Chains A and B, each alone.
Chain A
Amino acid sequence: MKAPFSEYLKSLKPGLKQLVSILSGHYEYVSVLASDSAGFRIIISQHAKSISNQTLTTERGIVIRVMKDGLYSEVSLDSFDPARAEEAAASVQKDIEQQIAMLKASGTEVYHTGRLADEPAELFAEMETVQLPEKADLQSLISDLTALSNDAMKRSSDLIDFRIAAQSTHICKLFLTAHRDLAESYVYSEGAVAPIGVRGQRNEMSYQAVSGLAGPELFAQLKDHALESIRIVEELLSADRIVPGEYDIITSPEVSGLIAHEAFGHGVEMDMFVKNRALGKEYIGRRVGSDRVTMHEGARCAVNVTSYAFDDEGVMAGDVTEIDHGILKTGICDALSAARLGIQPTGNGKRENFEHKAYTRMTNTIFDSGTDRLEDMIASIQHGYLLRGMQSGMEDPKHWGIQCIIERGYEIRDGKLTGKVVTPIVMTGYVPDLLGSVSMVSGDREVFGSGACGKGHKEWVKVADGGPYLKAKARLG
């Protein structure tokens, strides 16, 4: 079925068009993004359960962007009466003028930015889904997930909890300017199982997730991950600490995705180029990885949680080749940064929600597959680790440092897995060294969309990343 576009946004549209028209008489550029995204989130634990209609991306509100004399200003509102567009326009102007008066009084200079392109475009995209979160049978879902948690608890005496999270969101967005009229509707879902085990004074947790451009039907897949997650938590409870040092490593698709995201995801967000905050600006056309490294980024380059039709600035979704056989080709860019850099935007202007500013943000960030086999990769290592499970990462676009916190490593000696497991692992290094050391790439690849990404320490948005198994060298601690 098609995910139906919001009736609420349809009802606002005539008034919003009038608002754009009125404000266009006062400003050089006017756009409106209106959002109405509904969803649910269920948490099942042995200690408490909860249900709510809030996920990271549920929202209802509008953001109005205007430009005058080279300055872009925005007003975010949680309600809009389509019958009172003139009143709303006057209120928007008043709010902006109040700020500008204060800024002028304090002698603030403006970073002048040109007028955004407003090429005519129309789109009405209702993407396919099997179920809608609004229509989900929550009683059955809670019952099934509770049974899954209860059953899992019987599988290991180490477990003190088997936590399950399931959330699904129906995104509806409407973008209007004088010449653009874009509407999209899609559903994405994500779920995770997280057993917590205790042995003596030691606590460990494992985390296995599913995600996709899909409805609540996706949560049936959680059952397939339950036993594996319990096996992993038992491994972690008896795991050793790693001896710090540089090792040959093989990254699983999940860890490869984390590297893609932290290394050349953040590193080529081009709003950072405008501020001279990214070293990547100076490396376009230069080698940043081995011949085996090719990386794509864009809402269109995979089907997952952030595969939208257009971004939050009304730019159509893209598919950018960031690294081609080790050579850095280009970055990703929001509309305002593109105007400043004199390039075309790539469809990566995203907001946490209507209350937040748009920045250059990632969507799907993915290493291309190669032709190697995992067995051959393991066989090629004398002493190293197969790294699986990601916990977190941190970018450093200015210096190309990388920090990845990885759940566990499986020791490899003389071309074979020894059965020894180490946890946790801090992988650090210099991005070109890490990518330059990639010597084997597997033929398969996976994409994961269960995480969220911040800009600095705020502005959380959904992202997906992934890739194949990669063989490289890295410093582990």
Chain B
Amino acid sequence: MLDTIIELLKSSGADAWELTDTQTERWEFYFIRHQLDQNRTVKTEHLSARVYRKTEDGMLGSASFEIAPSLSEAELKQLIDAFVENAGYVRNQPFELNRPAAQTEEQEALPSIERIAQDFIEVMRQLPETAGEDINSYEIFTSLKTARFLNSNGIDVTSVYPSSMIEVVVNARKEAHEIELYRMYESGTCDREGLKREITRVMHYGRDRLEAVSTPVMGPTAVLFSTDACLEIYRYFADGVNAENICRGVSQMKKGQPIASEFSGDRITLRTVRSLPNSSANAAFDAEGAPVHDMTLIREGIPMQYWGSEQYRSYLGEQDSFLAENFIAEGGTCSEEQLRAGRYLEIVEFSDFQVSSLNGDIFGEIRLGYLHDGSRSMIVTGGSVSGSMADFVKEMRMSSAQCQYDSWLVPALTRLENVRITGIAG
């Protein structure tokens, strides 16, 4: 079918086109406790195309469409013709599509989908469950994907990669009181040891939550992030140097200009890289066929390079960039001991911690935190945090030690000062 689509695109009258063919085989297993609730297989091919038309006024029109694999050739032609026409109605500033690059995909040997699934199933039975902490339920998703991208400039690249996800619900109980903690882990294949370590840590948090008291009312307080909630903070910086956000004025970051007027903490350095160990986003080419390579986006608090789609990069004159997926936030200057000094609230469970890429506002309900004050420590729950990254970035401090969450390698500890805490108990 792909050959037919390519021929129809070539003869469609479109001035340019792009085509992506993603074939997925996915196995899914749903467990209640350790009993199998349901098993599923998914076999799909997603074909998506974008066609471009140059207009008389010098603009570039485009239209995107998904092509169902079950379409007949006549239906295909009708669909492509309709979207070539639609492209004429959507006029944007012109830009160049990516061109072929010398880079090649280095294909690693992949385990079978059966092997990956079996690894997840086995590791979930090897957790240190007790009468007090155990696994409520989990859902395992393992996929092998083959993604081929072609465009009218002659790019024709294929990536074959595994993509996995496991959702885990942990229970902890004391007498009649039972609590739960939720986690979702993404990766390439199954990192057995890493998963076991992470879930064991969550079980420990479960024990602590049973002892938690209401978060006290307090003034602005330092907050320490020691779990994957910190990714929202680092995504804020990545979004800040995203070409679309720059073009739309959503981000006010500018190359060469520090992201804060003053720094008394660590200055962030953010890089994007071609690959990270067992990341679900390792590929030699991005979704638009641009070669992926290592690149510094922000160095010591100063934006260096924008990343994003070919359209918005083109508007900014960014030639050698791409749609970044793997990121590294370099470690800061602080030891764990320095970051754990004084009075601070370490929050390890939020209901949904968010940082707005529009204005840096942060918000999140506290589900489990540790309020440290010198040698004293109190386990707390409830209430919320708020404030703005625009203020926090000046004094943000990061550990030199790093840890990886799928496609992000970030400082293991991140400390924000003077965060507004809405407490409950007087």
Chain A positions near chain B (C-beta within 8 angstroms): 8, 42, 45, 47-54, 58, 60-61, 71-80, 95-96, 98-100, 102-103, 106, 108-111, 113, 138-139, 142-143, 160-161, 196, 198, 201-205, 241, 244-245, 274-277, 336, 355, 357, 392, 394, 396, 398-399, 401-403, 405, 424, 426, 428, 456-458, 475-477
- Chain A CB within 8 A of B201 CB: no
Give Cα distance in the complex from A241 to B362, angstroms.
Answer: 12
Closest CB-CB distance, A160 to chain B, in whole Å? Answer: 4
In chain A, what residue has the closest Cβ to B248? Answer: A47
A276 CB contacts on chain B under 8 angstroms: 136, 171, 178
Closest CB-CB distance, B126 to chain A, in whole Å? Answer: 12
A475 close to B36 (CB less than 8 A) = no
- Chain A CB within 8 A of B38 CB: yes
- Chain A CB within 8 A of B252 CB: yes
Give Cα distance in the complex from A396 to B165, angstroms.
Answer: 22
Closest CB-CB distance, B49 to chain A, in whole Å? Answer: 10
- Chain A CB within 8 A of B182 CB: yes
A51 close to B386 (CB less than 8 A) = no
In chain B, what residue has the closest Cβ to A274? Answer: B32
A428 CB contacts on chain B under 8 angstroms: 365, 382-384, 422
- Chain A CB within 8 A of B287 CB: no
Closest CB-CB distance, B30 to chain A, in whole Å? Answer: 7
In chain A, what residue has the closest Cβ to B38? Answer: A72
B249 close to A401 (CB less than 8 A) = no
Query: Which one of B62-70, B269-277, B296-304 contacts A?
Result: B62-70
- Chain A CB within 8 A of B45 CB: yes
Chain B 68-110: CB-based contact to A (< 8 A → 1; otherwise 0): 1110000000010001001101111100000000000000000
Known pairs A244-B420, A477-B420; A357 contacts B40 (CB<8 A) = yes
Give Cα distance in the complex from A261 to B48, angstroms.
Answer: 34
- Chain A CB within 8 A of B351 CB: yes
Within 8 Å by CB of A111, from B36, B64, B351, lies: B36
Closest CB-CB distance, A140 to chain B, in whole Å? Answer: 9
Give Cα distance in the complex from A279 to B180, angstroms.
Answer: 11
* 23 A/B residue pairs, CB under 8 Å, sorted by A: A42-B90, A48-B311, A49-B90, A53-B66, A54-B48, A54-B66, A60-B68, A74-B41, A79-B69, A111-B33, A111-B36, A111-B37, A244-B386, A244-B420, A275-B136, A277-B136, A355-B26, A357-B28, A401-B365, A401-B367, A401-B382, A424-B356, A458-B167
Closest CB-CB distance, A334 to chain B, in whole Å? Answer: 11
What are the 6 A-B residue pairs with the smallest beta carbon separation, nearest first? A477-B422, A244-B422, A403-B365, A394-B352, A52-B64, A111-B35
A106 close to B35 (CB less than 8 A) = no
Known pairs A52-B65, A78-B43, A160-B249; A405 contacts B363 (CB<8 A) = yes
B44 close to A61 (CB less than 8 A) = yes
- Chain A CB within 8 A of B354 CB: yes
Closest CB-CB distance, B426 to chain A, in whole Å? Answer: 11
Known pairs A110-B36, A138-B86, A143-B89; A78 contacts B70 (CB<8 A) = yes
B312 CB contacts on chain A under 8 angstroms: 48
A102 close to B184 (CB less than 8 A) = no
- Chain A CB within 8 A of B402 CB: no
Q: Which secondary structure dominates where chain B touches chain A?
A: strand
Within 8 Å by CB of A75, from B34, B40, B180, B386, lies: B40
A477 close to B40 (CB less than 8 A) = no
B365 CB contacts on chain A under 8 angstroms: 394, 401-403, 426, 428
B70 close to A398 (CB less than 8 A) = no
Query: Which one of B115-123, B328-336, B403-411 contacts A?
Result: B115-123
Within 8 Å by CB of B34, from A78, A109, A398, A426, lies: A109
Within 8 Å by CB of B44, from A78, A99, A100, A103, lies: A78
A45 CB contacts on chain B under 8 angstroms: 248
A275 close to B32 (CB less than 8 A) = yes
Closest CB-CB distance, B316 to chain A, in whole Å? Answer: 12
The A-contacting residues of B in range 387-426, CB under 8 angstroms, are 390, 420-424
Give Cα distance in the complex from A355 to B36, angstroms.
Answer: 19
- Chain A CB within 8 A of B42 CB: yes
- Chain A CB within 8 A of B211 CB: no
A58 CB contacts on chain B under 8 angstroms: 66
In chain B, what residue has the closest Cβ to A80? Answer: B70
Closest CB-CB distance, A168 to chain B, in whole Å? Answer: 14
> Which has the most chain A C-beta neighbours within 10 Å: B27, B86, B92, B390?
B86
Q: Please give the number of chain B residues whose Cβ is less than 8 angstroms from any Cβ of chain A in the complex.
A: 86
Within 8 Å by CB of B63, from A51, A75, A475, lies: A51
Give Cα distance in the complex from A53 to B249, angstroms.
Answer: 27
Within 8 Å by CB of B41, from A95, A426, A457, A477, lies: A95
Closest CB-CB distance, A173 to chain B, in whole Å? Answer: 15
The A-contacting residues of B in range 128-169, CB under 8 angstroms, are 136-137, 165, 167, 169
A403 CB contacts on chain B under 8 angstroms: 351-352, 364-365, 384
A336 CB contacts on chain B under 8 angstroms: 38
Give Cα distance in the complex from A75 to B175, angstroms.
Answer: 42
B62 close to A50 (CB less than 8 A) = yes
B250 close to A203 (CB less than 8 A) = yes
- Chain A CB within 8 A of B247 CB: yes
A160 CB contacts on chain B under 8 angstroms: 248-249
In chain A, what residue has the closest Cβ to B48? Answer: A54
Closest CB-CB distance, A265 to chain B, in whole Å? Answer: 15
- Chain A CB within 8 A of B4 CB: no
In chain A, what residue has the closest Cβ to B75? Answer: A8
Give Cα distance in the complex from A475 to B121, angstroms.
Answer: 42
A75 close to B65 (CB less than 8 A) = no
Chain B 12-41: CB-based contact to A (< 8 A → 1; otherwise 0): 000000000000001111111111111111
Closest CB-CB distance, A64 to chain B, in whole Å? Answer: 10
In the complex, besides A74-B39, A106-B122, A428-B365, 13 extra interface pairs with C-beta distance below 8 angstroms are A48-B92, A48-B247, A50-B62, A54-B65, A74-B41, A96-B39, A99-B29, A111-B37, A138-B86, A203-B249, A277-B136, A357-B40, A458-B165
B41 CB contacts on chain A under 8 angstroms: 74-76, 95-96, 99
- Chain A CB within 8 A of B294 CB: no
A426 close to B364 (CB less than 8 A) = yes
A109 CB contacts on chain B under 8 angstroms: 34-36
- Chain A CB within 8 A of B373 CB: no
Within 8 Å by CB of A49, from B35, B92, B356, B359, lies: B92
Closest CB-CB distance, A105 to chain B, in whole Å? Answer: 8
B359 CB contacts on chain A under 8 angstroms: 202-204
A54 CB contacts on chain B under 8 angstroms: 48, 64-66
In chain A, what residue has the closest Cβ to B24? Answer: A355
In chain A, what residue has the closest Cβ to B141? Answer: A458
B351 close to A74 (CB less than 8 A) = no
A424 close to B386 (CB less than 8 A) = yes
A477 CB contacts on chain B under 8 angstroms: 363, 383-386, 420-422
In chain B, what residue has the closest Cβ to A279? Answer: B178
B137 close to A196 (CB less than 8 A) = no
- Chain A CB within 8 A of B361 CB: yes
B137 close to A475 (CB less than 8 A) = no
- Chain A CB within 8 A of B179 CB: yes
In chain B, what residue has the closest Cβ to A62? Answer: B70
